[in-house]
Structure 1
Amino acid sequence: MIYVDPAILERVNKWLTPFFDSETQHTIKEMIAHDPEGLEDSFYKNLAFGTGGMRGVMGVGDNRINKYTLGKNTQGLSNYLKKQFANQEIKVAIAYDCRHNSKSLARVVANVFSANGIKVYLFSDLRPTPELSFAVKHLNCQCGIVLTASHNPPEYNGYKVYWEDGGQLVPPQDGEIISEINGLEYTDVNFEENSDLIEYIDEEVDTAFAEASLKNGSFNTSQKAKDNLKIVFTSLHGTSITMIPRVLEDAGYKNVTVVNAQATPDGDFPTVVSPNPEEPEALEMALEIAKNQDADIVIGTDPDCDRLGIAVKNNEGNLEILNGNQAMIIKTHFLLEQHKKQGSLTNTDFIATTIVSTPMMQQIASDYNIDCKIGLTGFKWIAKMVKDNPSQYFVGGGEESFGFMVGDFVRDKDAVTATLLACEIAAQKKEIGSSVYQYLYELYDKYGYYQEKLVSLVKKGKKGAEEISKIMKKMREAPFFEIAGSKVTIIEDYLNGTSLHTETKEVSSLDIPRSNVLIYYTEDGSKIAARPSGTEPKIKFYLSVCASNPTQKKHLESRIQEILSHLNIS
């Protein structure tokens, strides 16, 4: 006889009542009979909001993405909206990506909002996530939803919530909404649509978004330079195919080769192991085409078009993929350079990045006499910086995980405008006989040579979550005071909100929201961060080492390996 935990069974039995459809009930009964482990993982907890909203495997149960969990979220969000915007017409915008069930789940969400008397603007087909952020403000909505699981594997989907400023939810608002949702039963969800309140949106928003992207991402590049730049672009079967080729064409870039084998949106992502531009394998097809065409730059975006990978020619003429930190510092420095040339840069302007990204961003900000604000991982924190500092102009900024944001017309990472910006940099540098790669090393010569590495350990399911928890607990209870021969000088614990100076034993407070992150700083300038992912079943280790110039590259590569070995990470 198969044993099922009584607590799990109590949750399961709620899903076997007549409110739930027969297909759902049949699937659950099959799991009870044949897959108790899968049943436990599907029901042992409620799927929670993380750094990128709610994201998880599709299927039946409280810990899965399905019409009932998203319906309950949307009902709770509807209740919250009506309290926050009493006696107002409430409007929401909804977009979705190429993933399986995204279109049907988006319609479920639209139906629940409309059933609660809320006006819905629904994209009739897939669109990039940054366009949804833009649409929220453009259409004067109080809220926005995008159905996406970003770069996760095909079995995933997700639900990101945006507020009226175009940024994602942040505390304490997300907690208030979660409390509203947790106070509901599934039977409280109103799925009966009011079609009069659902309006499809398309070209008008597309055009406005494209024009805003051109305005923010273009910097007086000559047409000759644009014509001389050879670009290879891949959407990796995602939504960027709907917008990036259009924006590049509108900007005057005609020498663009689209990777046709990856241009059709497809939730199975058949030509890649992972549709994540952080993974070099994802760009292999584009790189091969670029090599054959002697292209100058390769761009690849993730399924919802908020991250982009970039490859450029190195000094030997071979294409080399830039890591997220390298791409970020190039784009940030170029933006500051352009604003300074235009006379529009002031010392009240700011750039932004995250606690696990390269410290080189602070060096650049200091050189331009502006502020570099640093927040937790996730662009919702950068959007919050923009919202909280209305008297300061946000120039741009990003994070190591291949995201970048140009200006504040979109309040999330935006691969559309960042792609245009990358092409502007490449075209201008080529025109003067230089390159993006040479530009990068000019910055290293000026600010110091920083080398980073990310190691992610995949830990799936309930057991994986427990393993991740044990790793973080051990690192807190038995902290390192020396790492690979270099003394630890500072330990920052963002869960406790403390910074320990190891020599003096002085403990100070961190002026940043709490998060499950540990960062070690060592005497030789190394930085090591540990963080469970908020969107994937992973624990991530971020390493940054530095030297005075790029000639010490081999030494830094060895240093990274020594640190990984000391931490027993591979």
Structure 2
Amino acid sequence: MADLVRLAREWREQDPDPRTRAELDAILERDDLAALADRFGAKLEFGTAGLRGELGAGPNRMNRVTVMRAAAGLARRLGPGKHVVIGYDGRHNSDVFAADTAAVLTGAGLRASIMGARWPTPVLAFAVRHLGADAGVMVTASHNPPRDNGYKVYWNDGAQIVPPIDHEISQAIDAVGRVDELPLGEGWTTLDHGDVIEPYLDALAALPIGDARDISVAYTPMHGVGGTTLAEAFARVGFPAPTVVPEQAEPDPDFPTVAFPNPEEPGAMDLVLGLAASIDADLVIANDPDADRCAAGTPLPGGGYRMLTGDEVGGLLAEHALRHTSGPDRLVANSIVSSSLLARIAEAYGVRHAETLTGFKWIMKTGPGLVFGYEEALGYSVGSDAGTPVHDKDGIGAALAVAGLAAAAKRDGRTLLDLLDDQARRYGLHATGQLSFRVEDLSLISAAMERLRDRPPVELGGRKVESTEDLTEGVAGLPPTDGLRYRLSGGARIVVRPSGTEPKLKCYLEVVVPVAGEVAEARAEAARDLDALRRDLGAALGL
């Protein structure tokens, strides 16, 4: 208890934020050992995803001290004279954390440029390369709960950092002393609309969108920062303005209409689906709060709408990008937890395919010629013959491509569902699903992974486990990561891995069903197969 109290008091003395100082005062006054241990018994670790965690006092929380230490570590890794671009979203304290970062960087002799408004994460990623910066910082927690915030770091290639840079920055952060002793500067640049947004929109207008424009869209930015930029992007290329869910149109860090501000979460799409039905929309589009992800939904023949999975959108956008680009040296890439369909598509088009670890930072490192990359968690980077304008997932650019694809289908009297059926007939139905467990105690995830390693399953969902790959050993040239991949009879596949950004264990399932008759029959068979895999895998995990 004495050590925790000492650490808390030392933290309080250097903390510039009266709110977190008051939080510590209250905890100390009531002698709340559990609250102190939660905040000071561990710390947020800086990794390839930067920092992400709950707002509050202490090293195990996101706060001004944590952010200033991160900025000082980044400054030490880069060195004086280097240029860093800083963006921020609409979450609690995002603008404060961005300003603190600029102050620390300029105080350390670096140049800092800070976004003039709450703009999407892909705008920051674009700006790093457009402005020739040495690094970028985006203050966002993406689709995490309202109580969280985060800190993403990008390198000079406009992509998120990868090892060993993350480790080097982490070491530099550990060497930072008290933040109230850091020199703080004031001379940073504020970027306006013409500096960043206009060139970003110009770059998106050059994407392979197609020439069809007759499309009605129901849209939600999910209380995030994507709404204004998406509307500008639609206008720039000639699409009609989307109809926006009014309750979710403006940035709101409390996300009052959704339990989790993530388009994949149950209930998150209810309002936009209701809006779509009321206006008879041709397409549903949603961004997550920082607009790096894009969800899409399409009308059903008998009424209502269906949201497409990330893998379904990925397959459609891959062919769309390949039809609108040329050259034998093109490359498409996706993560190991995404559908194997992309490899089949690449083979059919005679282009290269790369498989990466989870995370767009890896997809963007696959090499020159990349015209499309995606991961199943609704992240897409669409490119042209000139490459990808954003070296990260981009929910605005993806929305344009999806709208162009849906408009072309509408012109032909078809929908996205028809295009999915075409792919199923051509490549076999690649059906994917998930099984995930959110936990309060992270040791439960470690225990579940240990059970699978100690007692590897020999059969799942009535299918023989033909091979097991422990991803910690590094497979197929991939860097080591905590995960297991099972290849099952009949072309099925399972990947199990702890989430890198949330307290979740995630399991990614895929079955491949040949289509000999009706696609609907193959879909029903695939749904049964996925249910069987979920049942058996859940039992093996013991969660």
| Band of TM-score, shorter chain | over 0.9
SS at match of 2:61: coil
Structure 1 residue 185: Cα displacement:
2.4
CA contact (8 A) 1:121 1:198 kept: yes
Q: Deviations over 1:408-454 (max 9, x none)?
A: 21010001110000000011111011221101110011001011111
d(CA) in 1 for partners of 2:337 and 2:202? 33
2:410 counterpart residue number: 430
**Following superposition of structure 1 onto structure 2, how do residues 267-282 of structure 1 map, counting pairs within 5 Å?**
267-282=253-268
1:541 maps to: 507
Is 1:405 the counterpart of 2:376? The answer is no
Cα offset, 1:25, TM superposition:
4.1
CA shift for structure 1 position 18? 5.4
CA distance in 1, matches of 2:442, 2:107: 36
Which aligned pairs between 1:325-344 and structure 2 lie closer than 5 A?
325-339=311-325, 344=326
SS of match in other structure, 2:122: helix
State the alpha-carbon separation in 2 of the partners of residues 18 and 279 from structure 1.
Answer: 39
Once the two structures are TM-superposed, the CA of residue 370 in structure 1 deviates from its matched residue by 1.2
1:481 equivalent in structure 2? 458
* In 1, Cα distance between equivalents of 2:181 and 2:173: 10
Question: Any idea what SS the aligned residue of 2:252 has?
Answer: coil
The aligned runs of 1:354-393 (5 Å cut-off) are: 354-385=335-366, 389=367, 392-393=368-369
Q: Superposition pairs for residues 8-407 of structure 1, below 5 Å? A: 8-9=4-5, 11-17=7-13, 23-32=19-28, 33=30, 35-50=32-47, 52-82=49-79, 89-187=81-179, 190=182, 192-193=184-185, 195-219=186-210, 221-222=211-212, 226=213, 228-339=214-325, 344-346=326-328, 348-385=329-366, 389=367, 392-407=368-383
Q: Secondary structure at the match of 2:34?
A: helix
Structure 1, residues 455-494: CA drift from partner, whole Å, max 9, x if none?
Answer: 221112xxx1111111112211221122233211111111
Deviations 1:315-357 (A, max 9, x none): 3343110011001100111111222xxxx232x2100100101
Taking the aligned partners of 1:128 and 1:515, their CA distance within structure 2 comes to 29
Structure 1 residue runs without a partner (length 5+): 498-508
How does 1:425-504 map onto structure 2 within 5 Å?
425-460=405-440, 464-497=441-474
Matched residue type, 1:350: L
- Cα distance in 1 for residues equivalent to 2:490 and 2:421: 22
Contact 1:349 1:370 in 2 (8 A): yes
- The unaligned stretches of length 5 or more in structure 2 are none
Q: Spell out, residue by residue over 1:18-73, the C-alpha distance to the aligned partner (whole angstroms, 9 max, x if none).
A: 56666544422422435432322222222023553211001001111011111111
Q: Give the match's secondary structure for 1:534.
A: coil
Distance apart, 1:9 and its partner CA: 4.9
Identify which range, 450-459 or 142-151, moves more after superposition.
Answer: 450-459
Is the counterpart of residue 510 in structure 1 residue 506 in structure 2?
A: no
Q: Deviations over 1:517-542 (max 9, x none)?
A: 11111113221111111111111111
- Is this contact kept in 1: 2:492–2:512, CA < 8 A? yes
TM-score by length of 1: 0.89
Secondary structure class of the residue paired with 1:49: coil
Given residue 68 of structure 1, which amino acid in structure 2 is its aligned partner?
V
Deviation by residue 1:261-280 (Cα, 9 ceiling, x = unmatched):
21111001111112111124
Residue 116 of structure 1: CA displacement? 0.9
DSSP 3-state at the match of 2:163: coil
In the superposition, relative to structure 1, how do residues 7 and 360 fare at CA in structure 2: closer, same or farther (>3 Å)?
Answer: farther
What SS class does the counterpart of residue 105 from structure 2 fall into?
A: helix
- Tell me which residue corresponds to 1:414: 394
Asked if the contact 1:51–1:534 (Cα under 8 Å) also holds between the matched residues in 2, the reply is no
Aligned equivalent of 1:502: none
Distance, in Å, in 1 between the alignment partners of 2:32 and 2:490 is: 51
2:278 partner amino acid = N
Report if aligned partners of 2:73, 2:173 keep a CA contact under 8 Å in 1. Answer: yes
Residue 568 (structure 1) aligned with residue 523 (structure 2): no
Range with greater deviation from structure 2 (229-238 or 274-283):
274-283
Is the contact made by 1:75 and 1:189 (CA closer than 8 Å) also made in structure 2? no
SS of the aligned residue for 1:558 comes to: helix
SS in 1 for 2:420: helix
Deviations 1:143-190, CA, capped at 9 Å, x for gaps: 100100000010000000001110000011111111111122234862
- Give me the whole-angstrom Cα distance separating, in 1, the residues matched to 2:323 and 2:231: 26
Change (3 A) 1:431 1:370: same
Say whether the 8 Å CA contact 1:280–1:321 is kept in structure 2. Answer: no
CA–CA separation in structure 1 for the residues paired with 2:14 and 2:140? 29
* Structure 1 residues 208-227: Cα deviation after superposition (integer angstroms, max 9, x where no partner): 001101111432x14xxx2x
Secondary structure of 1:216's counterpart equals: coil
- Kindly indicate whether the alpha-carbon contact (under 8 Å) linking 2:102 and 2:188 is maintained by their aligned counterparts in 1: no
CA distance in 1, matches of 2:393, 2:164: 22
1:559 paired to 2:529: yes
Q: Check the 8 A contact 2:224/2:291 in 1, yes or no.
A: yes
**Residue 13 of structure 1: how far off its partner (Å):** 4.6
| Aligned partner of residue 465 in structure 2, secondary structure | strand
| The 10-residue stretch of structure 1 (69-78 or 306-315) with the greater mean CA deviation from structure 2 | 306-315
Q: State the alpha-carbon separation in 2 of the partners of residues 405 and 19 from structure 1.
A: 39
Q: Please report the RMSD computed on the Cα atoms of aligned residues, expressed in angstroms.
A: 1.9
Distance 1:75 1:43 in 2: 20
SS of residue paired to 1:100:
coil
Secondary structure in 2 aligned to 1:384?
coil
Aligned identity (percent) is: 34
- State the alpha-carbon separation in 1 of the partners of residues 149 and 14 from structure 2: 26
